[in-house]
Amino acid sequence: MLNVGKIEEGFVLDHIEAGKSLEIYHHLKLDKLDCTVAIIKNARSNKMGKKDILKVECDVNTLNLDILAVIDHNITVNVIKDGEIVDKKELVLPREIHNVLKCKNPRCITSIEQELPHIFVLADEEKEIYRCKYCEEKAGNSFTW
């Protein structure tokens, strides 16, 4: 069994679907941050069989985790301070997502005007449906960064 040490301040993202941790690493732009990150893949889980875990050592105010709800709202976000879990953050679907999802509709204006932001708006909260702000095409399951 592999052991990864405790962090003093930051987040532990638990119950990530096995294999999705790298995708989340990119979406949270962790590659751009100068902090310690542990990516644990295929950890054993009673609930899920296999799961991924991300441990991020950082100031808890520096990271915007809204996008996690879009990727998988079953992820558990533990907020760590002084080496202890002080909060479990609830994931809320953001009203708008900027430049995370890419509109795949070849007829959309974003397909020819490269400088335009790719903005998706929450169209149905219950069904978790996002639509392109410009052409209203439904967001697919494939994410891009």
Partner 1 sequence: MRHLMNPLDFSVEELDRLFDLANRIEKDPARYAHACDGKKLATCFYEPSTRTRLSFEAAMLNLGGQVLGFSDAASSSAAKGESVSDTIRIISCYADICAMRHPKEGAPMVAAERSGIPVINAGDGGHQHPTQTLTDLLTIRSLKGRLGSFTIGLCGDLKFGRTVHSLINALIRYTDIRFIFISPAELKVPDYITDMLTEKNIPYEEVIRLEDCMPDLDLLYMTRVQKERFFNEEDYVRLKDFYILDKTKLSAAKGDMLVLHPLPRVNEISVEVDDDPRAVYFKQAQYGVYVRMALILTLLGIEN
Would you state the structure tokens that stand for residue 55, as one six-digit string? 């441990």
Residues between 14 and 53 that touch partner 1 (CB under 8 A):
none
Q: Give the neighbor-by-neighbor strand order of the sheet with 119-124.
A: 96-98, 119-124, 129-132
104 binds partner 1 (CB under 8 A): no
121 binds partner 1 (CB under 8 A): no
**Which H or E run includes 121?**
strand 119-124
105 binds partner 1 (CB under 8 A): yes
Judged by CB under 8 A, which of 115, 126, 141, 142 binds partner 1? Answer: 115
Task: Provide the 8-state DSSP code for 117.
Answer: -
> Under 8 Å CB-to-CB from 77, ≥6 apart: which residues?
11, 12, 13, 14, 65, 68, 88, 89, 91
Minimum CB separation from partner 1 for residue 47, in Å?
A: 33
Question: Which is nearer to partner 1, 37 or 135 (by Cβ)?
Answer: 135
133 binds partner 1 (CB under 8 A): yes
Would you state the structure tokens that stand for residue 21, as one six-digit string? 């941790």
Give the x-and-dash track for 51-90 against partner 1 (CB under 8 A).
Answer: ----------------------------------------
Q: Point out which residues bind partner 1 (CB under 8 A).
A: 105, 107-113, 115-116, 132-137
